[in-house]
Structure 1
Amino acid sequence: MQKLLKVTMTSLVLLTMTYAEEMNENNMIEVETESESPFYIVTKGMVTPGGDMREEEALLEGDNAYGVGLDIGYMFHEHFGIEFSTVYGKNDITRTEEMHGEIEVDKAKATYVSYAINLIFKHPINEEFGYFIKAGYEKEHETIDDFNIDEKEHGVDAAAGLTYEINEKMAALVEYEYSSIRGLRGDAFFLGIEFEF
């Protein structure tokens, strides 16, 4: 009887160990399949303080610009990646010009389309919050039809921001972007959502 009990207990222990090992292997496979994708996409809203510039005898002043942006990124390392960005925005422009002793004021709408390619560095602060820094090359197309302005400029952009993890695949972010292109749009502030593929 004792011999039978020992054999039964040994069989149960071996069976439990085998089952636990199989479960562990399955979990490892699951973890591997659920590992983070290196690709991500960000949709964001934009606001800028506007800017001003001189054009011959006229002063052009831009109000706050509003728009939308899209970033598509690839992380080739845990902290480093590359990102392509595009932004579309609009604002009101006031042109003040002195002609023959009189001041003329005209208003118009401006549109901006910009493209940028940046290197990005990301780092967690804790389980929920993280920060990022990015810098690269930017090209901007500015159009003000009423003033016959159609300009393309390029320069350097740099940005920094904070992220808040909503879940494993989604994070909210705030971002400030500086551009060496000094125009009527100005530097930009963004609020957006990042999605991992």
Structure 2
Amino acid sequence: MTLLLEALAYLLSPDSWSGRLALGTLLTQHVGYSLMAVGLASLIGVPAGWWVGHSGRGTTWVQGLSGAVRALPTLGLVTLLGLLLGIGLAAPMIALVVLALPSVLAGATSGVRSADTGAVDGARSCGMTELQVLTRVEVPLGAPLLVGGLRSASLQVVATATLAAYTGAGGLGRLMFLGLRTQRYDMMLASALLVIAVALASETFFSLLQRVLAPASVRRNRKEQP
């Protein structure tokens, strides 16, 4: 309890929000790294997942690759890339993108596959091209599952972005490593509390977005339930 109070005092201290290790700066860096990693993973995973889900090709390859990527130890990957690329943001950013990619890919693929078969067949019978079927029917209907994949990826990345400090980059991980080295456990816990707050904010945002994008029939069923 004492350590928690000390961490809260550190968070509320004006000195903690100024200087070289200002909490505001590190928090902004942490959020920026997380958004960048999920954004880059989305640029790769969303189109690939849509194509796999729509065409049905490459499913085995994608599942195998996702399983292999999930098994990679993130810290080991950051260490290896750090040795190859040197200090800075490049190594942890690549590792974070690799970490986020399986969830994004799975969400995009599952979303397209979950589209109602009757709606898809009806779109084809109306003369829509395969691209139109994908973009106008399957993608909108599968949007909640895609957001679910982004939600999972964001949560993993936010929690792991502290490793950016391992190779000399910024973010809230700097306080964790510095606190561990100097035995400032209040600093470490304060940094961890901010990471938890960012994770909760991300979870809340994507949860609300999933509700908004859910099909009207699903929203009606939720309202009718006691």
**TM-score normalised over the length of structure 2:** 0.23
Q: Which has the higher strand share?
A: 1
Q: Which has the larger radius of gyration?
A: 1
Q: Which has the higher helix share?
A: 2
Higher relative contact order (CA 8 A, sep 6+): 2
**TM-score normalised over the length of structure 1:** 0.25
